[in-house]
Structure 1
Amino acid sequence: MLERKSYEIYRDQGAYWKSREIFSALRVPSDDPVVVRIDGWRFHRVAEELKLDRPFDRRLIEALSQAPLRLMQMGFPLALSFLFSDEISFLLYPPIPWNGRIEKLISVIPSYSSAIVSTALNYPVCFDARVVIIRDIDDLLNYLSWRQSEAWRNALNSYALLALESSGLGREEAARELEGKKAEQLHEIIFDRLGINITKVPAWQRRGVIVRKGHGREASEGVKRKLPLVDWEVPLFSAPEGRDYLIESLRAYEES
């Protein structure tokens, strides 16, 4: 049973309860870029319920891409987004909304995304979120290269898991079999069991997808505006071509 405590020190009930709001004053610098990354919660169940194709289903990525597209269309300061599997990294340019309040960033963005993706899939989904502080352009390029390497690892594991299951192993047994396997071994499993060269599967499965500002289009006022688009064929971010691509994508946002 909770004990009664004195509230005499707070004559203003509003001030009392606001003082007990955890993290309400926690902020990121409002004049630096930040990444808000959202991750799907229990998406394996979503995939099963919707009978999504394995190991990848383009319909899921199309649904996920609607979240950054809609945010861009409503004027949110979203420079670009990177997505794969069940995660989206939103790059926000300053001034950061809500004066950088983390409480707002990790509640509004994932809840808005949940609503948009749920509508697109006609099935309820939700996301958790975290904030990543970006110091400079090198930080950003390295962050996106890291997430893209995770997309590649995810592709390898997803295809290898399917390969072992197709040969008769159960899901958990197949997962245990893959533990500690190197990339070369996963390549071999995929090719031997499925006859698939993993380096030749669609780029969006291996490298993820970018949502960014695209080419200009004449607006009704006669002003050219850059419209958001989904890029399914992105280059390798760790290569010079990929870094040039990302810098050009950022420039397109800055000029919009």
Structure 2
Amino acid sequence: MANTEYGYVRSFEGNDALPPSNWIVVRIDGRGFSKLCKKYNFDKPNDRRALDLMNAAATEVVRSFVDIALAYGQSDEYSFVFHESTGLFERRAAKLATSVATAFTAEYCMQWPTFFPDATLTRPYPAFDGRCVCYPKRRILRDYLSWRQADCHINNLYNTTFWSMVLKGGMSTTEAELALKGTVSSDKNEILFSRFGINYNGEPEAYRKGTVVYRSYSEDECVKGSLTAESIGDRVADSASKTQMEKDRKRKQKAQIVIDHPDIIGDTFWTAHPYILASKRGQDYGE
């Protein structure tokens, strides 16, 4: 940038670099999605086309940003987890949040015709906002992801029961809301089964557990220890050569991106994929 007499205005820019050695979560949320759902007549309580569109957009964001270790989504939100060692955009919060949110929005709009071929997008177009949150430990990061999955279960159980009472039980939305006031999970499960013959545990996992998007590496790569912090994060150790850096980046770009609906509150998923939250070779991923 040219050094002119007007350059002093740069001093007004705030320093929003996020602290090092923190996992960065960029969470995006749909803006005005209740109106969007109504406008395009989304199925209730879940529209599989809409969820598949969200997952397709998230997959391309993960593919574009190789420092994303994992993404978790439900409803109209997605959380993208950047590895603690990332140096992308010098860890500037605004750059990370806006880059992810705009990339997701673009993918969502561009892929819309694939999932809704009979519904042409018109203004106001779908849009997503984003925010950055730092988590200093993997244990806290896992608690965050558990919180989002628990939220998915609570909301989906309520919505499944609510809309069954309205669409199948003939109740008004006000009547259904009053009937569910003060109920707990067991009450909702009983209503679903006794009145509508629905076993909630038999509902699609995508609805009950949300969606996890991550890179899958071969067992051979993991055994050889190639997936360390240096190869997962954007920054590598000073001793690492540029050639090795490029190899690591290409490995991540070529990795298979998986869309799945596992339980991420328990340990099974993380034990099966220890490299996702790996920090350094031999270190416990759960710390």
Asked if 2 retains the 8 angstrom alpha-carbon contact of 1:114 and 1:125, the reply is: yes
Deviation at 1:184, TM superposition (A): 1.1
Aligned positions of 1:90-169 closer than 5 A: 90-93=80-83, 94-122=85-113, 123=121, 124-166=125-167, 167-169=169-171
Percent of aligned pairs with the same residue?
25
- Note the alpha carbon deviations across 1:92-131, whole angstroms, 9 max, x for none: 0122421111111222211211111122224321112222
2: CA distance, partners of 1:64 / 1:155: 17
Highest RCO, 1 vs 2 (Cα 8 Å, sep ≥ 6): 2
TM-score by length of structure 2 reads 0.72
Partner letter of residue 78 of structure 1? Answer: I
Give the match's secondary structure for 1:106: helix
Q: 1:13 to 1:171 in 2, by over 3 A?
A: farther
> C-alpha distance in 2, partners of 1:39/1:171?
25
Question: Pairwise mapping of residues 69-84 of structure 1 onto structure 2 (< 5 A)?
Answer: 69-84=59-74
Residue 84 of structure 1, CA deviation = 1.0
**Unaligned 5+ residue runs, structure 2?**
114-120, 219-246, 282-287
Q: Distance in 2 between matches of 1:161 and 1:131?
A: 33
Alpha-carbon deviations, 1:176-196, whole Å to 9, x = none?
Answer: 443332111111222233321
The gaps in structure 1 that reach 5 residues or longer are 1-10
Output the amino acid matched with 1:104: K
- Distance in 2 between residues matched to 1:107 and 1:185, nearest whole Å: 42
Equivalenced residues, count: 232
CA distance, structure 1, for counterparts of residue 102 and residue 180 of structure 2? 34
* Equivalent residue for 1:29, pick from 9, 12, 19: 19
Contact 1:237-1:246 at 8 Å conserved across structures:
no
Query: Counterpart of 1:242?
Result: 269
Moved more, 79-88 or 100-109: 100-109
| Pairwise CA RMSD | 2.5
- Give, as a single letter, the amino acid of the residue that structure 1 aligns with 2:95: K
Per the normalisation by structure 1, the TM-score is 0.80
Tell me the CA shift for residue 241 of structure 1. 1.5
Task: Look up the match of 2:258.
Answer: 229
Q: Post-superposition shift, 1:246?
A: 5.2
